[in-house]
Amino acid sequence: MSTDALAGLDEQQRAAASVLRGPLCVLAGAGTGKTRVITHRIAHGVDTGAYSPNRVMAVTFTSKAAGEMRGRLRALGVQGVAARTFHATALAQLNFFWPQLANDTAPSIVDKKVRILGQAADALRLRLDAATLRDVASRIEWRKVAMRTIEQDAVRHPTGLPGLDVTALADLMRAYEKVKDERRQLDFEDVLLACAGMLEAEPRVAAAVHEQYRHLTVDEFQDVSPVQHRLLELWLGERHDICVVGDASQTIYSFAGADPDYLLRFADRHPDAQVVRLERNYRSDPGVLAVANALMRGRPGALELSSRRPPGTPPTVTAFADDVAEAEGVAAAITAQIDGGVSPDDIAILYRANAQSALLLSALAQRGIAASVLGGKKFFDLPEVRQAVMALRAASVAPIETSFLATVRDILRGFGLTDDPPPAGGALRDAWEARAAVLRLAEDAPEGTTLRAFTDDLMARGRDQHEPSLRTVTLATLHAAKGLEWEHVHLVGLSEGLLPISYATGFDAIDEERRLAYVGITRAGRTLSVSWAEQSGSGSGASRPRQPSRFLQEIGTGTLRAGDASARSSARRRR
């Protein structure tokens, strides 16, 4: 047994990481160290000789998660593992095998469905606006990940779309496919379908893949769609060495075809599977987990999380007069946290819909608090970061007369990094924060680091999307926040119509909204503040009354204490 790879794991984590053969299902609750288990299990397999690194395939859903996995494996001394997203893995196989099968290069990938759909609509003399074309694109995506034909989709959706009956919709889908075929193009979902089709139709391709990859690991298995599950089966073949890791309570992509049944019924499909539950949470305060457990109690696959942290500040719920008062109240609470010594990058405001961010950004800017919205441009794609990396790279090939850190600081100052930040709420402050983050990376570099080594590290970080944290408060939708964590979380908009959102109807849709709330709650480490507004807007004539979210009633008063209503009262007095 490798003492290195298994060192530092708790009993549950060690039990999972020690299983190297046969099917393994790890039910990993939020904050229980699932990525740690995945990477240490692979490292343990390599250390013991059970695995050869280039025979291991590890797939996940985002490039960032794949980069994080590769980085952790490197830190454990493991190189050569194919850790990629589903699409990157499928595309790599298509690009490798397609020339051998067709004596031609693989088709190119469509960057925007809507553009081709517009051209297909023009050919059919259909006048459709951009919103309708986007709806058609979404329908195409769902149909393909669900592995349904156009005819099957018409049966499932007999009413078509607003302004586009089922016959016209089917004709448009066929025209879209025709345009792609004529241009030798594949869309995002076609990549998975084409790879699956290739493996099914070409035994020698399947044999080559099975020979190359003997051990399969799948992260976020609760988010697997039918087409992804089919592809996993084809990658696995007759072998049984597969490890799946997931949490049914964090299934929040059903609209994209995710089906938690693949996780919940894994042992039914693999009767010899070992199942390990990870329920020791290392992220959150006991009070935070009490709220999360109360919300999900009795739901299929729900885990009962226990905290490894000592008890701290109890979570709160606050009712504000309206949206403006809620934004001002949250900004006031964050101001108090920062004044008390909390770093802004340890604070997040989470919400259901992007439209909720505007008032919050305004309220923070009025108090001089810098904020960044998650889901924008990637850090290493920011113009000021690219500019800095290029300048540092150029300087690294010339003789350096000053220290490494002094050189980095001088270059960044030349591009506008000052000792004091500009006012919050504008592009200048955003650029300043990005340059300051590059400087912090240099300041945190190991002693003896050269400028060349530092720029090599920056470029590796860019490839793996291993982004530094900005010293700003983070604003994010609940979908964007999945997989992340902050010490202090403000979860806003817990009212009917916002969370659950108004268009969520039926048991399954409401359950998905509940899981979204659960994801938001479990992002919090030390403190959790939940809030809602009694009416929309700012109390003007256009406002509408709201009711507290049903999820607050399900959680109950045993785990959430009432927040300070003074911010609400002062906001009313000002108006």
Q: What is the pLDDT of residues 306-361, one digit of tens each?
A: 998 889 899 999 999 999 999 999 999 999 999 999 999 999 999 999 889 889 98
pLDDT tier for residue 574 given thresholds of 50, 70 and 90: very low
CATH number of the structural domain spanning residue 14: 3.40.50.300
Query: Is 34 contained in some domain?
Result: yes
Structural domain boundaries, residue 433: 379-464
Tokens (6 digits) for 418: 């000052």
Query: Is 10 contained in some domain?
Result: yes
Q: What is the pLDDT of residues 500-552, one digit of tens each?
A: 998 888 888 999 999 999 999 999 999 999 999 998 875 555 568 899 999 99
Tokens (6 digits) for 232: 């996993």
Shared domain check, 484 and 550:
yes
Shared domain check, 533 and 422:
no
Query: Is 102 contained in some domain?
Result: no
Q: Tell me what pLDDT residue 566 has.
A: 58
Shared domain check, 175 and 119:
yes
Q: Is the pLDDT of residue 153 over 50?
A: yes
Query: Is 95 contained in some domain?
Result: no
Query: Is 150 contained in some domain?
Result: yes
Helix (H, G, I), strand (E, B) or coil at 247: coil
Backbone angles phi, psi at 220, to 5 degrees: 50, 45
Query: Is 497 contained in some domain?
Result: yes
- Averaged pLDDT, 275-300: 94
Q: What is the pLDDT of residues 101-126, one digit of tens each?
A: 988 888 999 888 999 999 999 999 98
| Binding residue positions | 28-35
Shared domain check, 557 and 429:
no
Residue where one domain finishes, among candidates 160, 183, 206: 183
Helix (H, G, I), strand (E, B) or coil at 537: coil
Percent of the chain with pLDDT over 70: 95
Shared domain check, 361 and 214:
no
Tokens (6 digits) for 37: 């288990």
Shared domain check, 371 and 295:
yes
Shared domain check, 550 and 430:
no
In the chain, the N- to C-terminal Cα span, in Å, equals 68
Query: Is 319 contained in some domain?
Result: yes
* Tally of structural domains, the chain: 4
**Burial group, residue 445, by CB count within 10 angstroms (0-12, 13-18, 19+):** middle
Shared domain check, 397 and 339:
no
Mean pLDDT of the chain, nearest integer: 88
Query: Measured between alpha carbons, how far is 203 from 223 in angstroms, rounded to an integer?
Result: 28
Residue where one domain finishes, among candidates 183, 204, 219: 183
**Burial group, residue 458, by CB count within 10 angstroms (0-12, 13-18, 19+):** buried
Cα 376 to Cα 114, 352, 485, 526: the distances in Å are 21, 16, 18, 26
| Binding residue positions for ATP | 28-35
Q: What is the number of other CB atoms lying within 10 angstroms of the CB of residue 191?
A: 24
Name residue, tokens 């034909």: 149
Q: What is the pLDDT of residues 372-406, one digit of tens each?
A: 888 767 778 888 888 888 888 888 877 766 778 88
Shared domain check, 358 and 490:
yes
Determine which of 84-98, 130-144, 425-439 has the lowest per-residue pLDDT on average. Answer: 425-439
Q: Tell me what pLDDT residue 539 has.
A: 52
Q: What is the number of other CB atoms lying within 10 angstroms of the CB of residue 10?
A: 15
Shared domain check, 372 and 312:
yes
Q: Is the pLDDT of residue 572 over 50?
A: no
Helix (H, G, I), strand (E, B) or coil at 163: coil
Q: What are the beta bridge partners of residue 108?
A: 185
Q: Tell me what pLDDT residue 557 has.
A: 67
Residue where one domain finishes, among candidates 131, 158, 183: 183
Shared domain check, 114 and 82:
no
Task: Tell me which DSSP letter residue 18 carries.
Answer: T
Shared domain check, 515 and 369:
yes
Query: Is 99 contained in some domain?
Result: no
Percent of the chain with pLDDT over 90: 57
Cα 503 to Cα 22, 223, 496, 500, 509: the distances in Å are 43, 22, 11, 8, 9
Ramachandran bin of 184, using left for φ above 0, alpha for ψ from -120 to 50, beta for the remaining angles = left
Q: Tell me what pLDDT residue 542 has.
A: 59
Q: What is the four-CA torsion angle of 299, 28, 526, 515, rounded to 10 degrees?
A: -30
Do 424 and 27 contact (CB within 8 A), yes or no?
no
Query: Measured between alpha carbons, how far is 550 from 547 in angstroms, rounded to an integer?
Result: 9
**What is the tally of helices (H) and strands (E) in the chain?**
25, 17
Q: What is the pLDDT of residues 464-489, one digit of tens each?
A: 667 777 788 999 999 999 989 999 99
